[in-house]
Amino acid sequence: MKDIDIEQRQIVVRDGKGSKDRITVLPEAVIPDLTKHLERTKALHRIFTERGYGEIELLYALERKSPNAKYE
């Protein structure tokens, strides 16, 4: 998760008006539910990747260079 920073209480809005990135406040009220959601999602992702799901198709040269990239 690159656009939400829970520790800094920030959300980065990418490519907004004027093609600029902006930072806004992450409301304190959403943090507990967001944290629980992220923990569940990470656990599901781990389970699915262990079962062989969750990969993406990469260009051949990139797959050779970094074999685990399709799972990361």
pTM above 0.75, yes or no: no
Mean pLDDT of 12-28: 91
Tokens for 22, please give them: 């902006």
Q: How confident is the model at residue 27 (pLDDT cuts 50, 70, 90)?
A: very high
How many C-beta atoms surround the C-beta of residue 49 within 10 A?
A: 14
State yes or no: pLDDT of 60 exceeds 70: yes
In which order are the strands placed within the sheet that holds 10-13?
4-5, 10-13, 22-25
C-alpha dihedral, 8 to 37 to 1 to 66, nearest 10°: 150
- What's the confidence (pLDDT) of residue 5? 93
Task: Name which residue leads in pLDDT, 32 or 48.
Answer: 32
Q: Has residue 57 got a pLDDT over 80?
A: no
